[in-house]
Structure 1
C-alpha cells in the first residue's frame, strides 16, 4: 500500500539561504519557471532561516556554506535536529577538507557553485520523488534525521588496522568498504557530490576511496557518528552478521546476473551496489527502532508472516520503501534507488528494469542457495513479472551464475 499522492495544488516548499542579496535575487529570477510547482522562500542568514522554518515547515533547505554568524553546517545541523524530515542541501563554492568533515553528517546532498537551475531542480525533485510513499510521519522524520549508517564492528576494526599501517592500500581499503552497506552508502553519498567536480558517476567503493584520498577516508572513519560500532540486544533474535552476509551475497549475485545478461560494466556496478544496499532499510530499523522492529520480527516467528508484511503492519511501510527513500535523499543513482524500492515488488515499464530484475532475482536466489535462517519461509522470484518483462526462463541461467559465485568464493573463517 502506498500513500495517496499529494494534491497537485500542494507545492513543494523550498527555502534558499545565502548572505549575498545578489545570489538570492539571481535564484528568484532563475527559478521563476518553478513557481507553479515550488513555493519558494528566501533568507539572508541562518537565524532568519530558522525563524521562517519555525513559522512554516519547508520540504527543502538549500543553504550557502560560508555565512557570517551561522555557517551552513551549523544551520543544517539545527534543521536536522528541529525539522528532521526536511531535505538539507549545501550549496557552496568551497570543497576543502575541513568543510567536508563538518557537513558530511547534517547535509543530505552537496552542490557546488556555480550550480545551474536545471541541476538544482533535478537534484531536489529526484531526492524527494518517493516522499509520498511513506505514510508514517515518524518514519519520515527518522529517515530524514539520519546522517550516516552504522557499520559492522569487524569491518570497522579491519579498516582501522589497515589505515594504521605505514603504507596503507587504498585499493584494500576500498575493498573493505565494499563489504559494508553502511560505509558504502556514506562514501558514495560524499564522492558523488558536485564538490568533487567529477564528470562521471562513481559506482564502486574502490573508485570512491581512491578519489577521496586517504586523509578524507580517515576523517570519515574517525567520525564516531559516521562509523560507529553496531551491536544488537540478544533478545531481538536478529543477527547483524547474518544481515551483512546476506546483503554482500545479494550484491555479488546481482553483479553475476547482470554480467550474464551482458550489461555494461557500469550497469554491473549499479547492480552490485543496489544488491548490497537492498536491505538498508532493515539496518535503519535495527539501529534506530530496535524494540519496535523486534516486535515485527516476533510476528514473523509467531504467525508465519513475511518480514515485508510484518513491517507494513508495524510501520506502515516496508524496509524496501524506507531504504529507497533514504538513498534517494542521499542522491544515489536512480537505478540503485529503484532496485532497492522494487526488490520485493518489481514493476515493468521502468528504465531500470534490468537492474531491478537482477536484484530481485539475486535476493530470491541467495535465500534459496544460502540458507542463513533455517525454517524461514522462502520468497521466490516473481516468475510472472519476469515473463512480462521478457525474461521468462532466465532463472536457470542466473541460478548457475550465482552458484558459480559461491563455488569461487573464499571460505569464511
Structure 2
C-alpha cells in the first residue's frame, strides 16, 4: 500500500507546490489536499490517511483545532505542522498536539525526510493498535523549547558561544544540572567548573544538547502525579551512569567522536519509555515494575506489550524519532536490550563498524548490562549472542574496568 499523505493549507499555490514536490521526487505516495480544516476532517473520515501535514492559520477550523480533532478522532494519524509561525508561547500549544513542527519555507528534502522518518519509525510499534496507542497518549512530553533554541544556534555555520551560554543560563534548572554534570567524576575536570562557558567547552555541543534535552523532558512531569513506585531520581541516575559508561565504551571500541557522543545521548535517554508508561499507563507500569528483576528480556518484553501495548524501548524510540533525533540515537534506544535485532543477516555479525550495526547501539547495550551487574558476573546482562563475539573477547576486560572506575 502506498503511503497516504493529506496536505492542508488555505493557499492553493502552496498545495500545488507540495504536489509537484512529491511527484518530482518520484515517490509512490497517495496525496490528498484540503483548503481548510473542515474539508480535511471530511477526508480523514472517508479515507485511510497515514500522515497529516497542516498549516496553522486558516479560515474556519484552524490548524490548531484540526490537530486536536485529528488526535481525538484519528489517533493513529501522524500529525506534522508546516508553518511560518514563530511565536514561542503560541508554538507550545502546537507542540502538544503534533508530532513534528517544520518552518516555512521548508526544503523539500527536509519535509520528505521527516515524513519518511515518521512512517519508518512505525516499525517500532507494530501492529497498528500499538501505533494508535502511542499517538493517543494524553501525557507525552514535548520537545523542550530550550533544546530547540540551542539546537538551532549550534546548527549555524558559525555558532556563538555567548548565545549558547545565554540560552542555557536563561533556564536556571537546566543550567544548574548542566554544571553538575560537567563537574561530575564521569568527566573528571582538572578543577571545579563554575562557569557555563567553561562547561560548554569541556563537554562539547552534542553532550550539551543531550543534557538540556533530558532536563527539559524531566521538568514536564510532576513527580506527585506519577505512580508511587516510580523512582524518578533513581531512573535518571541510572540513565546518566549508562550514558557516561556508554561514551567510555565507545571510546574503548575505537568509535569516532560522533559515535561517542551519540552513545552518550542514547544512554541518557534509553529509559525514557518508563516515564512515558508511568505517566500514561500507571496501572500497567505498576504491574510491569513488580515483575522479577531477573526476568529474561524476551519475557519482560512480552509482559510490557501485553499490559502497555509496546515496550518502553519502543515507546521512547518512536517519540525521539518523531522529534527528529539522529537515526543512530533512535536505533540505540530502540534496541538497547536486543542489539542482535538490528543485525543485517547478510553481514552475519554484530554491532559497530567492526561488527555490523552502529557502535553507539553496542556501547549503550554493554553499558546498560554492566552498570548494575553483580561483581561476580559483570557480563550477565549481555546479549547471549555477544558473549563470544571477537569484539567482546578483545575489549571485555577494559569494559569491566571502565564500569568499575566510573561506578565504584
Whether TM exceeds 0.5 here: the answer is yes
Equivalent in the alignment of 1:191: none
Q: Which residue of 1 aligns with 2:100?
A: 109
Q: State how 1:236-315 maps to structure 2 within 5 Å.
A: 237-300=229-292, 307-315=300-308
Q: What is the rounded CA distance, in whole Å, between the counterparts of 2:42 and 2:240 in structure 1?
A: 45
1:363 aligns with 2:355: no
Matched-pair contact (CA < 8 Å) for 1:277–1:340: yes
Secondary structure at 1:91's aligned position in 2? strand
- Work out whether 1:31 is the aligned partner of 2:22: yes
Aligned equivalents of 1:208 and 1:302: distance in 2?
Answer: 30
Distance 1:331 1:340 in 2: 14
Instruction: Report the aligned-residue RMSD.
Output: 3.8
Partner of 2:37: 46
Aligned-pair CA distance for 1:61:
0.8
Structure 2 vs 1, CA of residues 389 and 53 (structure 1 numbering), >3 Å: closer, same or farther? farther
Q: Distance in 2 between matches of 1:175 and 1:125?
A: 37
CA distance in 1: counterparts of 2:272 and 2:258, whole angstroms: 22
Note the 1:90-169 alignment, pairs <5 A. Answer: 90-146=81-137, 148-149=140-141
| Alignment-derived partner of residue 13 in structure 1 | 4
Decide which of 78, 82, 96 is 2:73's aligned counterpart.
Answer: 82
Structure 1 CA distance, aligned partners of 2:339 and 2:73? Answer: 36
Deviation at 1:131, TM superposition (A): 1.3
Aligned equivalents of 1:205 and 1:47: distance in 2? 43
CA distance in 2, matches of 1:178, 1:343: 28
d(CA) in 2 for partners of 1:68 and 1:252? Answer: 50
Whole-Å separation in 2 of the counterparts to 1:311 and 1:258:
29
Residues 205, 68 of structure 1: alpha-carbon distance in 2 compared, 3 angstrom cutoff: farther
1:56-67 mapped onto 2 (5 Å cutoff): 56-67=47-58
What does the per-residue CA deviation read over 1:288-346, in whole Å, with 9 as the maximum and x for residues that have no partner? 11212323344437988853342244445422222212222222210111101111111
Q: Which residue of 2 aligns with 1:381?
A: 382
Q: Any idea what SS the aligned residue of 2:407 has?
A: helix
1:388-411 alpha-carbon deviations (Å, 9 max, x no partner): 57453312212222222225xxxx
What is the TM-score with the length of structure 1 in the denominator? 0.71
Contact 2:227–2:278 (CA under 8 A) maintained in structure 1? no
Matched residue, 1:328: 321
Q: 8 Å contact 2:6–2:31 — kept in the other structure?
A: yes
Per-residue deviation at 1:285? 1.6
Paired residues of 2:339 and 2:361 also in contact (CA < 8 A): yes
C-alpha spacing 1:169/1:266, structure 2 compared with 1 (3 Å): farther
**1:96–1:209 distance in 2 versus 1, CA, 3 Å:** farther
Q: Which moved more, 1:333-342 or 1:111-120?
A: 111-120
Contact 1:144 1:326 in 2 (8 A): no
Using the alignment, how far apart are the partners of 1:315 and 1:207 within structure 2?
27
Which digits, 9 at most, give the CA deviation of each residue in 1:17-75, with x for residues without a partner? 11100010111112115676321110111221112112224111111132233333332
CA distance in 1, matches of 2:65, 2:274: 30
TM-score by length of 2: 0.72
Preserved contact between residue 383 and residue 392 of structure 1 (Cα < 8 Å): no
**Aligned residues, how many?**
346
Q: Write the distance in 2 (CA, Å) between the matches of 1:329 and 1:246.
A: 24
